[in-house]
Structure 1
Amino acid sequence: MNLLSGEYECKLDPKGRLVLPAKVKGNLPEQSGNQLVLVRGFEPCLVLYPRSAWGVIHEKVMALDEFNEEYRQFQRNFFRGMTEVELDSISRFMLPRSMLRYAGIEKEAIIVGLGNRCEIWDPSRYDEFLIKDQQSFSKLAQKFLSVDTPPLGGPIA
């Protein structure tokens, strides 16, 4: 299993391209090759998925009942602006202008590896969304990682 992790400060070139850090590229699943999928995040950031990880997410969203209005609204907004990107020979990829505006990214970005995906943030916005209070962070860790807490997705066996 490939794990995307770490924080990387990056600069966009004048054409709006970003170089994927070597450590991130090295952890992309082989079956994804140079094919990645870029979507808008739930927060004001962009989310970059390896092709294989995107396939799992895509199937879940497409499995929602198209006859349910709430599901259709979610699908419409989730897939809005989704674009496939390909890394060039020096691991650059183009960030569409509409996506850059959505995330507020201008000249600099932070790429954050989150296991199966990476988020791409404007540095100042990223800082706004981080937990500043260590006690609050500790409480979340206890809530989500405590031995007594069922794992995400089901009860304790």
Structure 2
Amino acid sequence: MAFFTSEYECKLDAKGRLVLPAKIKASLPETSGTELVLRRGFEPCLVLYPMVEYKKIYAKVAGLSEFNEEYRNFQRNFFRGNTEVELDNMGRFLIPKLMMKYAQLDKEAIVVGMGNRVEIWSPDLYEEYLIKDQSAFSKMAEKILSEE
């Protein structure tokens, strides 16, 4: 299982390639190697999965009944924003132009380890989605973690 944490400031080159931070790259499961799946996030960011983690989600989404309209709509929107990417020998991968536009990425990105996946954010948008009030964050943690 992958285990990604922390946040990293990264740069994109002129071609739209991002160098995966060394700690993120070191945490990639050996079974996935350099094969990754990049998809549009539910927020305006990109989500990067090692292939082994993506296959778990793929199985759930692909297993939904095609005869249910809501499921079909979800599948359509989920799968349309996915693409396989591969790390080159320098640890870079190319972010497709449509995905860069979706996440409003330009020259800089914030890469955030999210356990089994990695989020890639525009620095400006990332700040908008962070919880600023630590007391509210504490209450959220109490509520969510006590539900288990």
Q: TM-score range by the shorter chain?
A: over 0.9
Deviation (angstroms), 1:81: 2.6
Give the superposition deviation at 1:64: 0.7
The structure that has the greater radius of gyration is 1
- Structure 2 partner of 1:154: none
The one-letter code of the counterpart of 1:15 is K
Q: Does 1:122 align with 2:122?
A: yes
Instruction: List alignment gaps of at least 5 residues for structure 1.
Output: 152-157
- The answer to whether structure 1 residue 143 and structure 2 residue 143 are counterparts is yes
**Where in structure 1 do 4 or more consecutive aligned residues deviate above 3 Å?**
none
User: What is aligned with 1:70?
Assistant: 70
Report whether the alignment pairs 1:133 with 2:133.
yes
Alpha-carbon distance between aligned partners in 1 of 2:116 and 2:81, rounded to the nearest angstrom: 20
> Identity, % of aligned pairs?
64
Which one-letter code corresponds to 1:65 in the other structure? S
Where does residue 4 of structure 2 map in the other structure? 4
Whether the 8 Å contact between 2:2 and 2:117 is mirrored in structure 1 is no
Q: CA deviation at 1:119?
A: 0.3
Aligned partners of 2:57 and 2:79: how far apart in 1?
Answer: 11
SS at match of 1:110: strand
Supply the RMSD in Å over aligned alpha carbons.
0.7
AA aligned opposite 2:91: S
Alignment correspondent of 2:33: 33
For 1:140 and 1:63, how far apart are their aligned partners in 2?
32
Using the alignment, how far apart are the partners of 1:112 and 1:98 within structure 2? 21
Correspondences of 1:15-34 after superposition (within 5 Å): 15-34=15-34
- Structure 1 range deviating more: 95-104 or 131-140: 131-140
Residues 1:80 and 2:116 aligned together:
no
Which secondary structure does the structure 2 equivalent of 1:4 belong to? coil
User: 3-state SS of the aligned residue for 2:37?
Assistant: strand
Residue 105 of structure 2 is matched in structure 1 by: 105
Say how many residue pairs are matched. 148
Task: Name the TM-score, length of structure 1 as normaliser.
Answer: 0.92
For residues 73-118 of structure 1, the C-alpha deviation after alignment (integer angstroms, 9 at most, x for no partner) is 0000011131000000010000000000000011100000001000
C-alpha distance in structure 2 between counterparts of 1:80 and 1:9, whole Å: 28
Q: What code does the residue aligned with 2:47 have? A: V
TM-score normalized with structure 2 length: 0.98
